[in-house]
Chains A and B, each alone.
Chain A
């Protein structure tokens, strides 16, 4: 059974639907007790950094997620979910979960492309990537974001994307997996990625 952190704002219907299609049982999580019952956690990305972290703190999920992650429970962060794994973000004042060392920055004004980075872009998976099993090394995924993570430990980067600059679009460290794009909105490739997560 997979638990989805429910913020009460935005589209988590699609991720539920995607897990459902994989035949996975889903539990909506807005309380730490429920977190203990699931084998895996999905931290979806909805809204802004501070709002997300404030919600996690208010519901005591902030510490609970950290605890479960330390115990080795697989956790998938999507979009803002990935960003919240890190220590801090230019988008807000709150501290992130700090599961991964590094910070989150906005696309620099100097890049000549529109921001938000919105649409289908190529992800180049590294050979160390487990989440991309059976997905071509260069594949398109759907992105919708203005901020990106800069991991301190480059070894955790398992996929990159270029948009004016090259950034880490996939990070994997043991049980912690983050993707900057939306697998639940990325047709076939996204579906395989979610299936891979369910096998971890």
Chain B
């Protein structure tokens, strides 16, 4: 049985992992390679790195970071942040990333989804969507780390990225992110109902029950977690044991690192 995935998200800025509340107010939460190894050894199913400092000059930093991480872990990982071209994708994949997560650039230039999927396969093109509620059951897509509204309805955009060949959607509720009050289940339901590709839920997890809710009611394929894990409020083991007891399929095998 396919298991629900628990995915720690490491926001990276200037080579360090940081935490975001409402995409602002960043705090240092440790070294990326050590954390990646820690989470991999702890039983994470995948990892996501978001380079929130990504600019052209910093491209080299993230490339080296990707290589270091890929050399030290043997589970899949995704890299996002500032990806603006097919060449950017190629560099990340060649250095050991399994998937790339694209947000702003996909809105500005949707062709990157189609071309990226055609060249590298859908399985490595993750489209990150940041959505903010504007009315009952209506959400708008935001870009530039949740700062700029696009006027695009999240449902239309989710359908469009699927048609263009995206392999997964990473869906973040801007309203819920950092609150620890639970996911925007309605948003998640609304999107998982209309797309066939897997949707990863992000933003708002504060306790175990929230994870259960978004995986069942929200029908998410995976959950992306940052603060909860980074500050050791919960461990991956706590989460998986809880979900297992609630009859959610999870992978309980450990990633004992025989590879290093």
Q: Which residues of A contact B (CB under 8 A)?
A: 9-11, 13-14, 17-18, 21, 46-48, 51, 80, 109, 113-122, 139-140, 142-146, 162-163, 182, 184-192
Residue of A11, A80, A116, A121 ringed by the most chain B CB atoms within 10 A: A11
Instruction: List B contacts of A21 (CB < 8 A).
Output: 259-260
Instruction: List B contacts of A144 (CB < 8 A).
Output: 76, 98, 123-124, 167
The CA-CA distance from A143 to B46 in the complex, in Å, is: 12
Residue of B90, B120, B121 ringed by the most chain A CB atoms within 10 A: B121
Please tell me which one of the listed residues A14, A118, A146, A163 contacts residue B96 in the complex, with CB atoms under 8 A apart.
A14
The CA-CA distance from A114 to B255 in the complex, in Å, is: 25
Residue of B nearest to A142 (CB): B76
Query: Does B76 lie within 8 Å of A185, measured CB to CB?
Result: yes
The CA-CA distance from A119 to B254 in the complex, in Å, is: 15
Known: A9-B119, A113-B2. 19 other contacts (CB 8 A): A10-B120, A18-B74, A21-B259, A46-B120, A114-B196, A114-B198, A114-B199, A116-B168, A116-B197, A118-B167, A118-B221, A119-B4, A119-B5, A119-B45, A120-B5, A146-B122, A182-B76, A187-B75, A188-B74
A to B CB contacts below 8 Å, 15 in the list = A10-B121, A11-B94, A11-B97, A13-B94, A14-B74, A21-B259, A47-B119, A51-B118, A115-B197, A117-B2, A119-B222, A120-B2, A120-B3, A185-B75, A188-B258
- Tell me the chain B residues, 1-49 only, with Cβ under 8 Å from chain A: 1-5, 40, 45-46
The CA-CA distance from A47 to B122 in the complex, in Å, is: 8
Query: Does B120 lie within 8 Å of A188, measured CB to CB?
Result: no
* Contact of B238 with A by CB under 8 A: no
Query: Does A17 lie within 8 Å of B2, measured CB to CB?
Result: no
Instruction: List A contacts of B62 (CB < 8 A).
Output: none
Query: Does A114 lie within 8 Å of B253, measured CB to CB?
Result: no
On chain B, the number of residues with a Cβ less than 8 Å from chain A's Cβ atoms is 45
Residue of B nearest to A194 (CB): B259
Contact with A along B215-242 (1 / 0, CB 8 A): 0000001100000000000000000000
Residue of B nearest to A49 (CB): B121
- Tell me the chain B residues, 58-86 only, with Cβ under 8 Å from chain A: 67, 70-71, 74-76
Query: Does A121 lie within 8 Å of B3, measured CB to CB?
Result: yes
Instruction: List A contacts of B124 (CB < 8 A).
Output: 10-11, 144
* Contact of B53 with A by CB under 8 A: no
Give the distance to chain B from A186, nearest Cβ to Cβ, in Å: 7
Residue of A nearest to B165 (CB): A48
* Contact of B213 with A by CB under 8 A: no
Please tell me which one of the listed residues B71, B93, B251, B257 contacts residue A11 in the complex, with CB atoms under 8 A apart.
B93
Give the distance to chain B from A191, nearest Cβ to Cβ, in Å: 5
* Contact of B88 with A by CB under 8 A: no
* Contact of B256 with A by CB under 8 A: yes
Please tell me which one of the listed residues A116, A119, A142 contacts residue B122 in the complex, with CB atoms under 8 A apart.
A116
Residue of B74, B120, B199 ringed by the most chain A CB atoms within 10 A: B74
Residue of A nearest to B43 (CB): A187
Instruction: List B contacts of A142 (CB < 8 A).
Output: 75-76
Residue of B nearest to A50 (CB): B118
Residue of B nearest to A45 (CB): B121
